[in-house]
Structure 1
């Protein structure tokens, strides 16, 4: 790589806007890594990232391509290598086998990857019928061995979040759902809790949801699309995980 400029790693974290990485990096220990853009010379959309000590894991979208849900590993957020794929195939309907149609442009989208108490979790919802969400787990993304925990209700472009008290939440659009520890049951309102009032100009398309917690505050980040305008990144903040944001 031809290295010309230097930037703080934390600026790259801010660009990604995912997970609570910056909350785990003490100011006295921040370091710099030189890099040029693009970081990854490939199409890596819908990025989600998690951290365990000095190891960072990044997941992206493969849509209809399989194996799917690629997970990459890095020590410095600049140099990335493939670690594993979350699944080999999806087989919810015959179209994945090109029978009775295709899933071109559908399949796995916008995964969320999280490290929690020695395990790595992935949540995603295939963009096809029947709409549902998949939860996977592994002890080591380097070895793969991702296991499907459960298929459950559909959460569009959702962000998985483990709070400091180990309670489990899923954020999607302008709603938050609390889940049981096994992800099987929605606790409380089955329709979720609305956490902010959507801008009247929005088309309703709120995508790429991500939730982080820093210094006791919760931040929701997503892409919105005003009517007649361009897509934009928006950030909401709250003192409580259930809002209001």
Structure 2
């Protein structure tokens, strides 16, 4: 994979976040609610809640929105039952795709996800058809600017990070899922802010797309990310240089 490709994929996702900020906040509110339901509303006692809060802050979700979502979840724990369902499949050029949903209607979610795959020139697969091509990892992305590379690398590695990658615009820190919170909190304690901070599925290899297939795949991504039930979409597509989506 070319050195810029990983960050280019992140930039592509970040652009969508910026364009759909209200919808992203709604989805994060759902993640906050699930975290509260499973571990309580006090971040100090709920590692999962701390991780979701960090993810929310990375996309500039206002603190008042975060606190409102936590309070709302605390008072409505029995209101709606969300089920986590993961779909797998293929996009154009055989791109591997994993779609994570939180839904109160399995039939609706399955139909919408299947439609997005079809309209984007792909097809749904069976459980496990592509997940073996990904690893679950914690990933923290820090804007490079004028920060000291050696200092941040040592901070990350000393805190338990698995890998540190310095790219032209960013530092990308990778952890095993169990150490993500510890590493993130160590970096936060040094006053560092993140462009991204979450546990996600990271592909082992990437599939290059030509312009035509990139357009098809972008359509699939747009349909999936516009679906309220879809929380996360992971893929191994490498978009063409200069791709703006």
TM-score by length of 2: 0.26
More helix by share: 2
TM-score by length of 1: 0.26
Higher relative contact order, structure no. (Cα contacts within 8 Å, ≥ 6 residues apart): 2
